[in-house]
């Protein structure tokens, strides 16, 4: 049924020029979605002004008050009215919209904020007197003198008071405050040499610091590592691998965590392009692809990655909020991220995250730690321990060796000539429950899950063989013809070469159809149409498809599982030590095929604390 549009008269429509207040309120709907958006715009302006100390205060989740104070270059009093005009900016001259080196450049934030809230700017530039201007609901007041030593103070009160309908879409004060904190943390990671203080001044109290990050010193990598420790915590900093790689004009730096330090959601993924925090589908897909072989699908990697390039190689003017970017050559950037991260993970070798040991100690630590401390003597030498063990051996102990032979006794070390200090994973001392290898290191002990460890070793061998020989393809006796839409046909054919590497052969057919002529032999009988449509779903949602690779490698993983040392098998000392040495020589052996740790390392000091020996 045809309905009349109430906004259009039955007569000839009239084209009108909207006034500035209406235009600013419309722009505010794009730029200022919530209080966190306002904080982002104001803090980015402070960074662009060269600030080295930035303080952000908010009340009631930013709904009633947002105040940003900085020590930047400031604004001259005569320029304050112009700063509140649409598309007025000091960042660019308008001649080249691709050569952008600042956070802001559109000139929309301040007039948009003034259109929907009560905005006051107090500023003092070097060589000028302090000045202040206010704008309420788009109406400017006159500039007046103000006392300020340097920098700028921007105060925004009653956000969206001029557009009350927007207030209904805001979340609780706690949720809005959390969003503000997330924005500040991202900007703090992008600017490690800037001091950030975030304060909640809700109520009548003096307020409290929600987040504080002191300015870092020294070289960039060292400063970034220190800032990530402040923002993401000590555990991330200890378990993150440094990333530094270049390719065709793109430079990738940052830190990526070990696979065993993974998260249940993508909350610990921070991506930056030329210092700008972004949420880009292609970059997220590249990060997922780099960890594809080390994590199960319900686990997500943690990383803070910075892509730097000539501004002309990336378009940041895609969205008013500038949270999306578009690369001129996205394939180069994706390849750089995947190869750099996989190279770093391979160089990590058998390393597993320290949180594995912390979780183990937490599980083992008994309740009640108030007992009196027991102070121990200095540790005796190895020879003295051997002599002491022989003297202290209980009567009949020698006859029991046949019963307890699967665990090495102190006077019967494993059959090896090496000392524990010679190897990162130590020397095998025994096996318990026919599944866990106990090894002694120079600084503690290691517990290895023999099945999980050997499964990863066999899996890596199978993958290397597949990489060298390729994935065998089986030709279909009758090619399967699949009808697709024109867009889907173009999408699937664009990745045909990638799919062919994993044994899936497709080619164009008449009209909008494709023909599937080969499928991976290792998968056996395959529903080709279902597989193609699943691949298209991944391409649509994530910009890439790892479906065929995932299925092939899942088969390899199952083969590795069945071909590895089973739980419950007793191993001789030389077999256990051979497994440890192979783990040390094989990349990624610190986690199994599903991202779980293959071993736990406990330091001697931690073990002694478990027994109250301090």
CATH of the domain at 325: 3.30.230.10
pLDDT of residue 377: 43
Tell whether 263 is covered by a domain: yes
Q: Are residues 284 and 192 in the same domain?
A: no
Is 208 a member of any domain?
yes
Residue 108 has pLDDT above 90, yes or no: no
Last residue of a domain, one of 184, 213, 242: 213
Mark which of 175, 192, 213 sits at the end of a domain: 213
Q: Does pLDDT of 387 surpass 80?
A: no
Task: Inform me whether the pLDDT recorded for 330 exceeds 90.
Answer: no
Does the structure show a pLDDT above 60 at 402? no
The model's pLDDT over 216-231, given as tens digits with 9 standing for 90+, comes to 998 988 999 999 999 9
* One domain for residues 333 and 354: no
User: Is the pLDDT score of 57 beyond 90?
Assistant: yes
Same domain membership, residue 202 and residue 240: no
Residue 370 reports pLDDT greater than 60: no
Residue 433 has pLDDT above 90, yes or no: no
Give the confidence band of 111 by pLDDT, cuts at 50, 70, 90: confident
Whether 239 and 165 share a structural domain: no
Residue 429 has pLDDT above 80, yes or no: yes
Three-state DSSP class for 67?
strand
Q: In a 10 Å sphere around its CB, with 0-12 CB exposed, 13-18 middle and 19+ buried, how is residue 177 labelled?
A: buried
Return the higher-pLDDT residue of 320 and 1: 320
| 175 & 265 share domain | no
Residue 98 has pLDDT above 60, yes or no: yes
pLDDT at position 173 is 92
Region of poorest pLDDT, from 94-103, 281-290, 502-511: 94-103
Q: At residue 74, does pLDDT exceed 50?
A: yes
Question: Is 554 inside any structural domain?
Answer: yes
Instruction: Please indicate, yes or no, whether residues 148 and 262 belong to a single structural domain of this protein.
Output: no
pLDDT greater than 70 at residue 383 = no
- Report the pLDDT averaged over residues 474-487: 90
pLDDT of residue 62 exceeding 90: yes
Q: What is the pLDDT of residue 192?
A: 95
- How many domains does the chain divide into? 3
Strand partners of residue 447: 438, 600
pLDDT of residue 61: 94
Residue ranges making up the domain that contains 207:
20-213
Asked whether residue 29 falls in the same domain as residue 149, the answer is yes
* Gap between the Cα atoms of 401 and 407, Å rounded: 9
**Closest by alpha carbon to 107, among 33, 29, 27?**
27
> Residue 440: in which H helix or E strand, if any?
strand 436-440
Q: What integer pLDDT is reported at residue 520 of this predicted model?
A: 82
Q: Is the same domain home to 145 and 273?
A: no
Give the model's pLDDT for residue 165.
79
Here the tokens at position 233 are 């915590």
Q: d(Cα 406, Cα 433) in Å, to the nearest integer? A: 9
- CB count, 10 Å around CB of 578? 13
- Whether 101 shows a pLDDT value over 70: the answer reads no
Mean pLDDT of 64-81: 93
Q: What is the mean pLDDT of the chain?
A: 80
Same domain, 298 and 430: no
Mean pLDDT of 148-163: 90
> What pLDDT is attached to residue 1?
45
Domain contains 587: yes
pLDDT given for residue 456 in this prediction:
84
Indicate if 102 and 38 belong to the same structural domain.
yes
Q: pLDDT of 28-53, one tens digit each?
A: 656 688 899 999 989 998 998 899 99
**145 neighbors 129 (Cβ within 8 angstroms):** yes
CATH of the domain at 506: 3.30.1540.20
Which tokens go with 81?
């009215």
DSSP 274: T
Query: Looking at the predicted structure, is the pLDDT value of residue 551 above 90?
Result: no
Tokens at 381, concatenated: 């030498």
Q: Does 383 reside within a domain?
A: no
| In a shared domain, residues 356 and 321 | no
Q: What is the pLDDT of residue 187?
A: 95
Helix, strand and coil in the chain, % to nearest 5: 40, 20, 40
Residue 390 lies in a domain: no
Same domain (yes/no): 198, 268: no
Q: Which stretch, 11-15, 50-54, 83-87, has highest mean pLDDT?
A: 50-54
pLDDT band at 100 (very low <50, low <70, confident <90, very high): low
Give the whole-number percent of the chain exceeding pLDDT 70: 76
């Amino acid at each position: 049924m045809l309905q009349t549009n109430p906004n259009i008269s039955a007569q000839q429509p009239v084209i009108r020029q909207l006034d500035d207040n209406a235009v600013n309120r419309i722009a505010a709907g794009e730029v200022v979605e919530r209080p966190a958006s306002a904080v982002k715009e104001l803090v980015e302006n402070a960074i662009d002004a060269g600030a080295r100390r930035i303080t952000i205060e908010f009340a009631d989740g930013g709904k009633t008050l947002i105040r940003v104070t900085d020590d930047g270059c400031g604004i001259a009093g005569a320029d304050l009215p112009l700063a509140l005009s649409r598309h007025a900016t000091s960042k660019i001259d308008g001649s080249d919209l691709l050569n952008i080196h600042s956070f802001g450049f559109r000139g929309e934030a301040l007039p948009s904020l003034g259109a929907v809230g009560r905005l006051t700017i107090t500023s003092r530039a070097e060589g000028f007197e302090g000045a202040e201007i206010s704008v309420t609901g788009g109406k400017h007041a006159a500039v007046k003198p103000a006392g300020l030593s340097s920098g700028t103070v921007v105060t925004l009160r009653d956000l969206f008071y001029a557009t009350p309908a927007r207030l209904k879409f805001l979340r609780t004060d706690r949720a809005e405050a959390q969003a503000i904190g997330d924005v500040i943390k991202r900007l703090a990671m992008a600017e490690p040499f800037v001091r950030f203080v975030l304060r909640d001044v809700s109520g009548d109290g003096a307020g409290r610091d929600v987040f504080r990050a002191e300015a870092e010193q020294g070289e960039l990598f060292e400063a970034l590592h220190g800032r990530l420790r402040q923002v993401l915590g000590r555990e991330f900093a200890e378990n993150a691998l440094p990333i530094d790689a270049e390719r065709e004009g793109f430079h990738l730096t940052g830190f990526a965590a070990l696979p065993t330090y993974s998260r249940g959601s993508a909350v610990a993924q921070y991506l930056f392009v030329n210092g700008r925090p972004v949420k880009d589908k292609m970059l997220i897909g590249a990060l997922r692809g780099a960890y594809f072989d080390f994590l199960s699908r319900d686990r997500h990697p943690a990383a803070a990655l910075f892509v730097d390039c000539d501004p002309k190689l990336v378009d940041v003017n895609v969205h008013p909020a500038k949270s999306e970017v578009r690369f001129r050559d996205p394939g180069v950037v994706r390849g750089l991220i995947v190869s750099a991260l996989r190279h770093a993970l391979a160089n990590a070798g058998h390393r597993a995250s320290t949180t594995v040991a912390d979780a183990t100690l937490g599980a083992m630590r008994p309740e009640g730690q108030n007992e009196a401390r027991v102070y121990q003597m200095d540790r005796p030498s190895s020879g003295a321990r051997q002599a002491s063990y022989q003297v202290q051996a209980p009567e009949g102990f020698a006859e029991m060796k046949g019963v307890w032979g699967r665990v090495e006794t102190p006077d019967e070390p494993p059959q090896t000539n090496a000392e524990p200090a010679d190897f990162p994973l130590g020397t095998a001392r025994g096996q318990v429950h026919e599944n866990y290898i106990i090894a002694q290191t120079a600084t503690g002990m290691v517990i290895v899950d023999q099945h999980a460890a050997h499964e990863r070793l066999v899996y890596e061998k199978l993958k290397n063989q597949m990489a060298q020989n390729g994935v065998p393809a089986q030709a279909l006796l009758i090619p399967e013809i699949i009808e697709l839409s024109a867009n889907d046909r173009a999408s699937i054919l664009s990745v045909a070469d990638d799919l062919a590497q994993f044994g899936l052969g497709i080619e164009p057919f008449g009209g909008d159809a494709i023909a599937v002529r080969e499928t991976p032999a290792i998968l056996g009988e395959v529903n080709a149409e279902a597989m193609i449509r699943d691949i298209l779903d991944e391409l649509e949602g994530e910009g890439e498809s790892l479906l065929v690779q995932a299925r092939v490698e899942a088969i390899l993983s199952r083969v590795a599982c069945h071909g590895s040392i089973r739980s419950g098998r007793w191993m001789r000392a030389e077999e256990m030590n051979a497994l440890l040495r192979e783990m040390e020589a094989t990349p990624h052996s610190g986690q199994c095929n599903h991202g779980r740790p293959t071993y736990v390392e406990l330091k001697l000091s931690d073990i002694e604390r478990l027994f109250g020996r301090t």
